[in-house]
Amino acid sequence: MRIAVPSESAEGLKAQRSGHFGHAAYFAVVDIQDGVVRDVETVKNIDHDAYGCGGVIDYVSGLGVDAILTAGMGPRPFSRFTEAGITVYHETTKPIVGDAIELFIKGEVEPMDPDFACRH
């Protein structure tokens, strides 16, 4: 499984998670196989102001991810990812990417309920 986690820096698993999907500075893209992190790639997000929410959605979709692990996401990206077969997971207790991934691997993170989508 390949999962993107919005983050504030290019520190991979050690990065602080971003509080919101679209305005994240980076994404930690984590490859997990058989319950083990096999690879971590950090990619810089595109400029939300220049490309809009749709541009960020297309960018992340183009990274070949199966899922997104986020602390916050609006209803539009949630719907577009879900329609594209990309599962959105919601987790707000762990501020560090690696700690959130650890919870995910343990099966302690559930898919996001659309009612949790940010309304702003």
CATH number for position 105: 3.30.420.130
Q: Between the CA atoms of 42, 25, 118 and 56, what dihedral angle is there, to the nearest 10 degrees?
A: -70
The confidence score (pLDDT) of residue 28 equals 97
For residue 76 the two structure tokens come to 């539009």
Domain count within the chain = 1
pLDDT at 57: 85
The pTM for the full model equals 0.90
**Domain contains 25:** yes
Q: pLDDT tier at 108 (50, 70, 90 boundaries)?
A: very high
Residue 10 is part of which domain span? 2-113
Quick check: is 52 in a domain? Answer: yes
Distance CA 81, CA 95 (A): 23
pLDDT in tens, 15-55: 999 987 878 899 999 999 999 999 999 999 876 555 556 56
Q: 3-class SS at 5? A: strand
| Sheet hosting strand 87-90, strand order edge to edge | 36-44, 26-33, 2-7, 67-70, 87-90
Q: Answer yes or no: is 16 within a domain.
A: yes
